[in-house]
Amino acid sequence: MNDARAHGVTGTARLLGYTIDLAPEGATVSMAVTEDHTNRQGNLHGGLIATLLDTAMGATASHLRGDDGRVPFLTLSLTVNFLAPAPRGRVSATGRITGGGHKTVFVEATARAGDGTPVAHAVGTFKRAAG
């Protein structure tokens, strides 16, 4: 993995315009929701919310259990519950490890609109990549 990808600058990050911020407790993925990201109702598309949640959880696992991000974690399972619409503006998702060990990690994340309203919650299982 090249250095840019190790720090969250992937094609997906460039396409959607999100950033990843790392903290001692996990990772937060944030992006500005524009018209390009919306569904027919004018809210952030659910698939993009799922992408932010998945990214926040995977980055959290990699940051905290993958040698500070040098080892990626792959998504084994992902369950998303949508709670409210995410209107245009800012949205962020923050991951938190809930269990697991060195190779398999259980993570949860909540996505919030700019005003703090929870818009979705996810749980996932992530596996340490070989290598």
| Mean pLDDT for the stretch of residues 55-74 | 92
Task: Flag whether pLDDT at 102 surpasses 80.
Answer: yes
Residue 2 has pLDDT above 80, yes or no: no
In single-letter form, the type of residue at position 63 comes to H
Distances (CA, A) of 65 to 42, 52, 119: 37, 20, 27
| Percentages (nearest 5) of helix, strand, coil residues in the chain | 25, 45, 30
Q: Are 53 and 80 in contact (CB under 8 A)?
A: yes
In the chain, what are the domains?
3-128 (3.10.129.10)
Q: Please, which pLDDT band fits residue 131 given cuts at 50, 70 and 90?
A: low
* Full-model pTM: 0.90
Q: For residues 112 and 93, give the distance between their C-alpha atoms in angstroms, rounded to a whole number.
A: 6
Average pLDDT over residues 21-27: 93
Q: What is the mean pLDDT of the chain?
A: 90
State how far the Cα of 61 lies from the Cα of 81, in Å rounded to an integer. 20
Tell me: pLDDT of 15 over 60: yes
Cα–Cα dist 93/86, whole Å = 12
Whether pLDDT at 4 is above 50: no
